[in-house]
Amino acid sequence: MVFLQVIPYYLDLGKNLNDQMGNVANYFQRWMLIVIALATLVGVIAVVQVHAKNVQKRSKDWLFSIIVLVILALMLVAGLPLKEVTLGPTNSVYLYLFNNAYTPLSGTMYSIIAFFITSAAFRAFRARNIEASLVLIAGLLMVLSNAPLFTVMWPPFKTIGDWIMAVPNTATMRAITMGIALGTIALAVRTLMGIERGYLRGGGD
Amino acid sequence: MSLLKSIQNLDRRWIYLLCWIFVMYPLIFPLGLPIPINQQAKDWDKAVTAIKPGSTVIFAPMYDPSGIPELFPMTVATFRQLMSMDVKVIVVTFWAAGPMVFNQVLAQVDPAGYKKVYGTDWINLGYIPGTETAMASFGKDLAGTASQDVVERKPTSSFPIMQNIKSATDITLIISIETGTPGATEWLRQWNTPYKTPIIVGCIGVSAPGMMPFVQSGQISALLPGLTSSAEYEQILKQPGLATAGVDAVSMSHLLVVLLVVIGNVAFLAYRGSSKGGK
């Protein structure tokens, strides 16, 4: 399976051979999609097991577990793809919960980060030493370059921000990306060679 | 001395309150601050307008509702621009909640209003589970991977728009608007590298630093990061929308951060100076 995926990706073995290997790989990829889709069911079972146990044992905040289970059941039933009985993503209950509960709650959770970042910036951006001062200056310049209020007042803020993004940031990101790629290749090779067996829950050796 | 120390240890709840005021005020009473148009928004507009008439593009809203506050304005603006052009659009997502997000886009931009016929000018293939594996499979065989559309529940290959579209090589451009994984890097690995399909990416502001190496290398043809760039893009299209309405709040929240950082450092340095002087 691995070689079927990897070889046509990296090597040109001629159109016919590459196509044949690609077709076989594509066939197995579709199998994988079915397996991944079924794995969602495992997630649902796990959520039910955890929260049902919470309710059963009256653990801390067990009432929230009831909410989780009720909403899960409601969304699951309302979202079943049975158009004939008006269920599915166009079902009114499903749409109501999605548009009026899930969407605003998700947006709120994400937006809350603004409060934490503001508080963290106030506490962390202190000129305690040279390194901290550099972070402070770079961070402040990025903030100034990202708000139209400041770039209108003094357009070079944008130029400076763009330079920080394009030069020091990109250099660092490249190093991180390459580091991750090399680490991933090493892990893949170790796994294929049977050296890395952590995924079997058995530890290294 | 105690005042300087109190400023440095300001209770975070006061900061939250200030943050709330600085964000809410411009949302209730818009300030109408000018929005200078920068290169990234120009590049995005250029990449979209450069699509040749009759070409087919992939439009992929790759996020769930948590990304709506920042990404929805650029999704609406881009889809609206596509609908106003002679371009065929295949809508697809690899995020489970992506189709529901796209339904909200359809509530704002009705393709029929642009005389676009479903199945001929655009098609909605919905969500394909399987993240990167699904993206790879979709690149090899579009109609085979997404066998049905989500609107009419008919075989994908039966629609006129799909007649000449077999694999990623038949796609002119991918427009991916996203919050994370799967997203740009998966498109790059499974579409851009093997098939050379160009990609433009709209992302949340915090993702922008990670995208920059791909922009510089030319793998990502254009990048539209965050709400400010969305507002600039709306200005280019001369269609002010949600991003233009929200960009004043971005400016004000940034102003608060700058003020707090300056005040915090003045208090810190003054306190340190007075402590040293006292010794």
Overall average pLDDT of the A182-189 stretch: 92
Residues of A in contact with B128 (CB under 8 A): 33
Nearest residue of A to residue B21, measured between CA atoms: A115
What are A148-161's pLDDT values in tens digits? 999 999 999 999 99
Residues of B in contact with A184 (CB under 8 A): none
Overall average pLDDT of the A71-91 stretch: 88
Q: Which of A120, A140, A119, A121 is nearest to B15 (CA)?
A: A119
Instruction: Kindly determine whether residue A118 and residue B247, on different chains, have CB atoms separated by under 8 Å.
Output: no
ipTM of the complex: 0.85
What are A190-205's pLDDT values in tens digits? 988 888 887 776 554 4
Q: What is the phi/psi pair of residue B183, to 5°?
A: -165, -135
Instruction: Kindly determine whether residue A125 and residue B268, on different chains, have CB atoms separated by under 8 Å.
Output: no
Evaluate whether B39 touches B272 at the Cβ level (below 8 Å): no
Q: Give the ranges where chain A is alpha helix by DSSP (H).
A: 2-10, 15-57, 62-78, 92-97, 103-111, 113-124, 130-146, 148-153, 156-164, 170-192
Best of A6, A111, A118 to disrupt the B interface by mutation (most B CBs within 10 Å)? A118
Residues of B in contact with A32 (CB under 8 A): 130, 133
**Does the pLDDT of residue A43 top 80, yes or no?**
yes
- Nearest Cα of chain B lies from the Cα of A103 at a distance, in angstroms, of 5
Residues of B in contact with A109 (CB under 8 A): 66
Looking up tokens 């052009």 gives B85
Instruction: Kindly determine whether residue B36 and residue A151, on different chains, have CB atoms separated by under 8 Å.
Output: yes
CB nearest to B210's CB, from A33, A128, A173: A173
SS3 B124: strand
Residues of chain B with pLDDT under 50: none
Evaluate whether B245 touches B89 at the Cβ level (below 8 Å): no
Instruction: Kindly determine whether residue B212 and residue A169, on different chains, have CB atoms separated by under 8 Å.
Output: yes
Looking up tokens 């893949």 gives A188
Per-residue pLDDT, A202: 57
Looking up tokens 């697809």 gives B92
Per-residue pLDDT, B5: 87
Beta strands B88-93 and B122-127: pairing type? parallel
Those residues with Cβ within 8 angstroms of residue B232's Cβ, 6 or more apart along the chain or in another chain: B35, B36, B37, B38, B40, B41
* Cα–Cα distance, B200 to B224 (Å, whole number): 8
Instruction: Kindly determine whether residue B251 and residue A36, on different chains, have CB atoms separated by under 8 Å.
Output: no
Task: Give the type of residue at A74.
Answer: L
SS3 A7: helix
Per-residue pLDDT, A50: 96
**Cis upstream peptide for A155 (omega within 30°):** no
**Does the pLDDT of residue A10 top 80, yes or no?**
no
Cβ neighbours of B16 (radius 10 Å) = 16
Instruction: Kindly determine whether residue A121 and residue B253, on different chains, have CB atoms separated by under 8 Å.
Output: no
Instruction: Kindly determine whether residue B258 and residue A143, on different chains, have CB atoms separated by under 8 Å.
Output: yes
- Nearest Cα of chain B lies from the Cα of A47 at a distance, in angstroms, of 18
**Whole-number Cα distances in Å, B66 to A102, A178, B183, B214:** 9, 29, 15, 25
- Nearest Cα of chain B lies from the Cα of A184 at a distance, in angstroms, of 14
Q: What is the largest CA-CA distance in chain B?
A: 85
Residues of A in contact with B210 (CB under 8 A): 173, 177
B184 class by beta-carbon count within 10 Å (0-12 exposed, 13-18 middle, 19+ buried)? buried
Q: Which of B70, B106, B64 is nearest to B89 (CA)?
A: B106
**Does the pLDDT of residue A165 top 60, yes or no?**
yes
**Whole-number Cα distances in Å, B99 to B62, B91, B103, B151, B176:** 9, 9, 6, 11, 14
Overall average pLDDT of the A76-85 stretch: 87
The model's pTM is: 0.89
| Mean of per-residue pLDDT scores for chain A | 88
Per-residue pLDDT, B276: 74
* Cα–Cα distance, B178 to B182 (Å, whole number): 8
CB nearest to B133's CB, from A33, A98, A117: A33
Instruction: Kindly determine whether residue B36 and residue A155, on different chains, have CB atoms separated by under 8 Å.
Output: yes
- Nearest Cα of chain A lies from the Cα of B234 at a distance, in angstroms, of 14
Residues of B in contact with A75 (CB under 8 A): none
CB nearest to A149's CB, from B231, B251, B261: B251
Residues of A in contact with B141 (CB under 8 A): 26
Residues of A in contact with B231 (CB under 8 A): 148
Instruction: Kindly determine whether residue A146 and residue B205, on different chains, have CB atoms separated by under 8 Å.
Output: yes
What are B199-244's pLDDT values in tens digits? 999 999 999 999 999 999 999 999 999 999 999 999 999 999 999 9
